[in-house]
Structure 1
Amino acid sequence: MARDQIDMTPLQSRDELVAWLEAGVKDPSDFRIGTEHEKTPFTLQGHQPVPYEGARGIGALLDGMKLLLGWEPIMERGNIIGLYDVTGGGAISLEPGGQFELSGAPVETVHQTQGELMAHLAQVREIATPLGIGFLGLGMTPSWSRAEIPVMPKGRYKIMTGYMPKVGKYGIDMMYRTCTVQTNLDFSSEADMVKKLRVSLALQPIATALFANSPFTEGKPNGFLSFRSEIWRDTDNARSGMLPWAFEDGMGFERWVDYALDVPMYFVKRGDEYLDVSGTSFRDFFEGKNPALPGERPTLSDWANHLSTIFPEVRLKRYLEMRGADGAPWGRLPALPAFWVGLLYDNDTLDAAWDLVRNWTARERQALRDDVPRHGFKARIKDRYLFEIAKECLKLSHAGLRRRNRIDHIGRDESRYLEPLERIIDCGRTPAEELLDKFNGAWNSSVEPAYDECAF
């Protein structure tokens, strides 16, 4: 999330938390598409991590972008940590290890997503290239150790860095070494939200396989196709995963609120200060029982911030966030919103997708999610390979985009953005398997060529 919220109205009742989510309901004519992507900055010379400080650091990159774009700077304790487009709603923010994130504005078509991406990449290059900075489109940094990666000057990350090792093996890797591409989509009612949430949770492993792109750690194959996805299996299980309860009767906004109330908090923001409340529950805070803020009740801002620290495979805010995909080279980025828009924004396709997954049990969904980081398309559910299901989903998505019929200036619909995924299905191999072939062949067992071939 680009900016921590600033609505400081104290909350009186649980109903307000539910109402905050319900306010996301939109008429289908107002549905939008948001795309967020992260990319790893590296020095063009030597392929090293880029520090925040200095004339050629991340801070200087953000300053240059501010001058170029005229966007509002987001500041923390005198450091520029992001940019916000007041008119369009897009933002640029920093992940903990300097991963550079574009949170795209809410747009109407995948054509606009593509246009926004191309503009962003041209702007970033204009500022970054003279600073000697390039960007990598992989799901995980392929060659750096944890210790080599710089820390960005953001208070919330300091708190998370201290807390992560207490709750999982890989939280620090998730924060400092991974990149994702994410699509945010709308719903028209509570029932529509529930249906989309269930379909997209069940099918998230499909996106993980299609975008699997993190097979290297510290210069060597790590045994996985999406190690980024594997990392999420042992980061903090109290706030991540496949949400089996979302498939049970009674699922709705209230059920999500009850879940979120019990997810341990990280921080509370007061002015410029991040207070470390890691491990405490929002439910106790709600009753005025947070040890760091005795007697004080949370605000809507605290609630919005807390919801942004929950990391399941699909996240509900005032829209749904698809969180299963590895970061990718720029040519593949618009394929993710295209894939999910085709499946979820056309009612016939949504029904067909639900038919595909409705008989899967919670245990089967979990097993598929557990197997996909290592096995990709060869993971199985019931008696089917994930590859067959991915092929079917791509067909459904294609049909949904054709029916949507949003045409660009030369008469093409949005299904054209699925082409990179169709090529992956045609050759039957994940992007990670292609990278491993190169590593074992033309790259001569080195990940260094990735900094050319997988750069933006």
Structure 2
Amino acid sequence: MSDSVGGCIRPRTAVSEAEVEALVHGICFKTGPPRLLGVEVEWLVHELRDPRLPVSPERLRAVYAALRTVPLRSALTVEPGGQLELSSLPAASLTECVRTVSADLDAVRAVLREDGLALVGLGHDPWQEPRRYLRQPRYDAMEACLDRTGPAGRFMMCTSASVQVCVDAGQEEPGPLGHVRRWWLAHQLGAVLVAAFANSPLSGGRPTGWRSTRQLRWAQIGPGRAGGPVLDSDPRGAWTRHVLDAPVMCVRGEEGPWDVPDGMTFREWTRSRTPRPPTREDLDYHLTTLFPPVRPRGHLELRMIDAQPGDDGWIVPLAVTAALFDDPEATETAYRAVKPLAERSLGMPGPHNPLYEAAARDALTDPELREAAVTCFTAVLAALPRLGATAAITDAVAGYLERYVLRGRCPADDLLEMPGGASPGPYGRETRS
């Protein structure tokens, strides 16, 4: 979801249902030994002096224009509500990924600071109502489509932020690093990551009853848009069927607003070929309008982690996820730790199953999620030296384990326990009204 995918594309050669199956089947999982890592960090942009004050669109336009002149190695995009996202290049190591993104974030923060603004790591804006900053056909159509299921879509578009970790799909062959097992692990471990890093308990200045309100919004959007396929031994086939049976968000046009069909799946579109035949470009676009917790894009994109407090809070979920997927010993430990949790997910991926619901609502106060998180974080600390992580990265994970995981807590608990009149400052500190 970024303004880099907003333009109209002229219709080209139409694709059939069989061609769509072949295309999705061929591109969703690119297998091989895991060796690359990436991260996408989203941030809310708030006033330094009082994060509860809204930032005007004119001010955002000016500072974002200045940011586009700053040389960065990561891709910088703007989300519909004015959130900023930095997407790293694929990195050969955790340390390389952290070093590059940290340098880019320093540069971005310096520009924002000159205008009295700050990047804020929260999974859901505690104060602001949804207000769309980007006015493009893509987001006009997205808003119209998501409004059919209620206001959750607008909150997701305009007031949410996350840490999305990208890992390789895995090997073709069965085993701890095989793509079938990594696909399964990503979904079950995803609930542990939701719980351990829940950081969005407020909306409209009041507790919502969920430690990850961001996950609540995804659940409210509905499984057709924010869910995924039932987990089985054929991830490629399952994802391909899901893509075909997911509702089309919009049919893009060259002039005027884009058509927003009501309930038409991509499979139905290939068969009816109305209002026009779908093309390969339409398929590529359709894939960007599906928001499952784990999205296969050749690699696996884990999308369930709330944005984290502090300048460097994003490093901990990145390091934890990287170690649990790319260190064989940690992977095996994580697999054993989350296997008992699978029964609670009922085979349903994403925010619409009981396990994810418990993770988003109760976080690590849930005894089973807490036990799995302690086991996984402990395995990560043993794995990080084997992955060549710096002492600073290891210390950050160790500090998080001590401050939160061992105590059955998450950052959301800090926000909920702030005294009256206090609010989370832009860097995770308190500010008083």
Per-residue deviation at 1:304?
2.5
Runs of 4+ in 1 over 4 A off after TM superposition: 5-10, 268-274
Is 2:51 the counterpart of 1:49? no
Per-residue deviation at 1:27?
3.7
Correspondent of 1:263 among 237, 242, 246? 246
- Find the aligned partners of 2:394 and 2:48 in 1 and give their Cα distance: 35
- Find the aligned partners of 2:162 and 2:394 in 1 and give their Cα distance: 22
**Are 1:342 and 1:399, in contact at CA under 8 Å, matched by a contact in 2?**
no
Distance 1:242 1:375, change over 3 A: farther
- Find the aligned partners of 1:298 and 1:226 in 2 and give their Cα distance: 37
Is 2:101 the counterpart of 1:117? yes
- Find the aligned partners of 2:395 and 2:64 in 1 and give their Cα distance: 33
- Find the aligned partners of 1:274 and 1:345 in 2 and give their Cα distance: 44
- Given residue 64 of structure 1, which amino acid in structure 2 is its aligned partner? A
- Find the aligned partners of 1:420 and 1:305 in 2 and give their Cα distance: 41
- Find the aligned partners of 1:214 and 1:163 in 2 and give their Cα distance: 25
**Structure 1 residues 67-106: aligned runs within 5 Å:** 67-69=69-71, 88=73, 90-106=74-90
1:238-289 deviations in Å (ceiling 9; x for gaps): 122364x21x24x2312211111111121344669873344322113334x3
**Structure 1 residues 132-147: aligned runs within 5 Å:** 132-146=116-130
Correspondent of 2:398 among 409, 413, 419? 419
Residue 26 of structure 2 corresponds to which residue in structure 1?
Answer: 19
- Given residue 221 of structure 2, which amino acid in structure 1 is its aligned partner? T
Distance 1:451 1:21, change over 3 A: closer
- Given residue 278 of structure 2, which amino acid in structure 1 is its aligned partner? R
Correspondent of 2:259 among 276, 294, 312? 276
Distance 1:9 1:119, change over 3 A: farther
Distance 1:141 1:270, change over 3 A: same
Correspondent of 2:63 among 54, 61, 64? 61
Aligned-residue CA RMSD in angstroms?
Answer: 2.7
Per-residue deviation at 1:109?
1.7
- Find the aligned partners of 1:335 and 1:137 in 2 and give their Cα distance: 13
**Are 2:152 and 2:221, in contact at CA under 8 Å, matched by a contact in 1?**
yes
Could you list the runs of 5+ residues in structure 1 that have no partner in the other structure?
A: 70-84
Correspondent of 2:270 among 280, 283, 286? 286
Tell which deviates more after alignment, 385-394 or 277-286. Answer: 277-286
Residue 225 of structure 1 corresponds to which residue in structure 2?
Answer: 211
Distance 1:105 1:374, change over 3 A: same
Distance 1:334 1:10, change over 3 A: farther
**Are 1:285 and 1:298, in contact at CA under 8 Å, matched by a contact in 2?**
no
**Structure 1 residues 377-456: aligned runs within 5 Å:** 377-380=364-367, 385-404=368-387, 406=388, 408=390, 412=391, 415-423=394-402, 424-437=404-417, 439-440=418-419, 444-447=420-423, 449-451=424-426, 453=428
Q: Aligned residues: percent identity? A: 25
- Find the aligned partners of 1:263 and 1:165 in 2 and give their Cα distance: 17
Could you state the TM-score of these two structures normalised by the residue count of structure 2? Answer: 0.85
Per-residue deviation at 1:338?
0.9
Could you state the TM-score of these two structures normalised by the residue count of structure 1? Answer: 0.81
- Find the aligned partners of 2:389 and 2:162 in 1 and give their Cα distance: 28
Is 2:297 the counterpart of 1:317? yes
Per-residue deviation at 1:168?
4.6
Alignment coverage as a number of residue pairs: 409
**Structure 1 residues 221-370: aligned runs within 5 Å:** 221-241=207-227, 243=229, 245-246=230-231, 248-249=232-233, 251-269=234-252, 275-278=258-261, 279-287=263-271, 289-293=272-276, 296-299=277-280, 301-329=281-309, 330-359=311-340, 360-361=342-343, 362-363=345-346, 366-370=353-357
Is 2:168 the counterpart of 1:186? yes
**Are 1:314 and 1:321, in contact at CA under 8 Å, matched by a contact in 2?**
yes
**Are 1:38 and 1:101, in contact at CA under 8 Å, matched by a contact in 2?**
yes
- Find the aligned partners of 2:301 and 2:255 in 1 and give their Cα distance: 27
Per-residue deviation at 1:9?
6.3
Tell which deviates more after alignment, 228-237 or 278-287. Answer: 278-287
Is 2:114 the counterpart of 1:130? yes
Could you list the runs of 5+ residues in structure 2 that have no partner in the other structure?
A: none
Per-residue deviation at 1:105?
1.3
- Find the aligned partners of 2:289 and 2:49 in 1 and give their Cα distance: 35
